[in-house]
Structure 1
Amino acid sequence: MSDLVWSTLWRLHIPNKLKIFGWRVCHDILPTRENLARKRIIEDRTCEICTRGDESALHVLWECSVAQDVWAGSIRKLQKGICEVREIRQLVESMIHKLNLEELELFFVQAWLIWSQRNLVLHGGKLQDPTRLVQRAEDFLKEYREDQDIPATGIGAVIRNDSGEVMAAISAKGPAVFDSEEAEVLACRKAVEFAVDSGFYSVIIEGDNCTVMNSIQSMSRTRANISKLGHFYEDIGCIILGLQEVSISCVSRSANTVVHSLARHARIIEDEVAWLELVYGVPGIYAGYNI
C-alpha cells in the first residue's frame, strides 16, 4: 500500500474500527468469496447477492448492483461516475485524489455499511432500502463528530456463551445524553452492532433498563416507535432483522456489574477497546452505560 493511502487513512476522523476496515480493504484481505476460493476454502466465487460476477472486494463494495444503488444516492462525488479500475486499491487511491477528507470519511463509512449489510444478508437478513444506508452513513459521521466535542458517557457490552464464558467485550465512549433511557438505548445499539461485527448472528439481548428492553421487543413485532428516541430503536430493529435468532429480556442491575465496569472504563479511553476470545456457544449480549 502506498504511503499516501496509509497516511491519509490514519488521518481520517472516523472510529478506529473503520480505519482497520479500510486497512483490510486496501490490503484486499476481506473474507470475500474470491479470497476464500483463492485459499481453497470454497470453490464458487460468485457473488451470492447479485449472482452477476465474482465477489471481489471491488465487486462487493463498488460494482455489485446492490452497492451501486447505495452509491447512486450518496453525494455526487461518491456516485459511480469514475474511471474504470481493476482493483480495490486503485479505487481507494482514486478516491483519495478526488475527495477531500470529510468526503473520504463518508466513503469509508458507506463502504463499511455496505460490507456489514452483505454479512447480514449472507446470514439470513434482508436487504435494506439503499436510501436508509445512505442516511445511516451521514448520521453515523454526524454523531461521531459531535461526540468528540462534548462530555461523553461510557458504554460497555459483554457477549457470553450459554455456559457463561465471555466470548467478547467492548468498552466505548458514547455521546452526552439526557436520561437513562437514551443512555441504555445507545448502549444497546452499540452492543448489537458489536455482536454483528464480531460474527454472532444468533443472540440473546439482555439489559437492566426494562423500558428499553420492552421497546426493542415491541419494535421486533410492530417495527414502529414514535418517541423522541424512535430513530435509535429503528436502527436496532434494522440490525435485528439481519440476525438469525434473537430474544430480548430485562435483567437486574446486579447481574450487569461487569458491563457497568466496562462503561466506567470507557470514560478514560480515547475511542473504544474490544476483546475477543475463541469460545463458542449461543451468545448473550449484556449492554450497559455510565453517565
Structure 2
Amino acid sequence: MGVIRGVKVTRGGTSINHLLFADDCILFGIATMEEWNSLQGILKVYEKASGQFLNKEKTSVFFSINTPGVVKSSILAAGNSVACGSYERYLGLPAVVGRSKDEESVTHVLWECQAANDVWALSLNGVHKWKRGGMEFLQLWEKLLEGLDKNRLEEVAVQIRRVWLRRNTFVFENKLTCPRRLVSAATEALEEFKRANRRQGAVNQQDHRPSSRAGWVKPSAEFVKVNWDASTDLKRRRMGMGVIMRDENADPLLAVCDSRSNILTAEVAECYALWKPLQVCSELNVQKVIFEGDAKAIIEAVKNNEEDWSDIDPLIEDIRNVLSNRKDWFIQFDYRERNIVAHNLAKAALNLVRKEFGWKRFQIV
C-alpha cells in the first residue's frame, strides 16, 4: 500500500493515480523503478484474474520533461515492448499543460491564441494590453490577482470561462461564437450573479430596513433634498435615470427623467444617475443640497477617498471633486423604500425617446 503515489495537481492537493473512461485507462505515478515494478505487478494480477490482457500496441509511456534520461531508459527496458510516446490529446482536449511549442496549453487557449485575443481586445478591463506568452496558467492567474481589483478580476474570470466554452464548442461542434457576443454574454452572466447576491443580501438585511410604511424624510430648513436612482437594461446596454428635488415642506420642485446608451454595468449606471442631479443643481446654482440614493456601494466609494482602480473610479473622482467644491452639498444613503419616487422615474426613463425635465409641474404621490 502507498507504493504508487500518483500525482498532485496542486501543492497539498489530493493525489491522482488513475483516470478511467470507457475502455481506456490513464495511470499516473512517480518515475522510479520501484513504482514501475509495482504497477506492472498490479497489471499482471488483473490480467490473470480477468483474462483480459494489455494491448501493448496501443499503450505508451509518457515522461515529464524533468525525468532524467537514465530513469527513462531503465523503465523502457523493463517494459519490453511498451513504447515511449507522447500522450498529447484525449477526446479533443489537451492531455499536457505546458509551454512546449508543439502542445496546446491551457494558457495558449485562454490567453495567447488569436481566437482568445479577439475576445480580450473587446474587453474594457485593460488586460488586452498585457504581455502574452512565457507563462503557465497558474502564473497568469497570479499575475491577474496582483494586477486587477475585485471587479475587474470577476469580469476576467467569467470571460475566461466563456473563452474555454467557446473553444470546446469549436472543437466538438465546429461552431465559433462571435467575440462581441461572448463578451456581452459574460457581462450579463456576471451582472445576474451580482443581482442574485444583492437579492440574497437584501433578504438577510430585511430586519434592518425601514418598513414599507416608512415615508420619505424631509430635509432641514433651507435645504432641498434630491433623490436619484438608476435602472438598467444591460441586454440593450441602456439605462434610465430619475431625479426628484423636494424642499423642507416636501413640495416637489423639480423632476428629471433621462436615459443613456452603451452602459455595461449597474455600477456605471448608478454613477451617471448621481452625476445628473449634481449637474442640474450646479446649473441652477442650488446652494444647500442633500443628495440621497439607495446605491450604497457608490455612495461609500464617493465618501472614501482611496483609489480602487475600477472602471467607475474616474466617475467617482469627478463626483468627489464637485462635492468638495460645495461646502453645503452632502450625499447620503437611504433604502429603496424611501427612494421610490426616483426609482419609478428611472424605470420610466428606460423607454424615453427624449429627455423629460419638469420644474414645479410634477405631482408626486
TM-score normalized by the length of structure 2: 0.32
Structure with bigger gyration radius: 2
Greater percentage in helix = 1
**TM-score, normalization by structure 1:** 0.40
Q: Which has the higher contact order (CA 8 A, sep 6+)?
A: 1
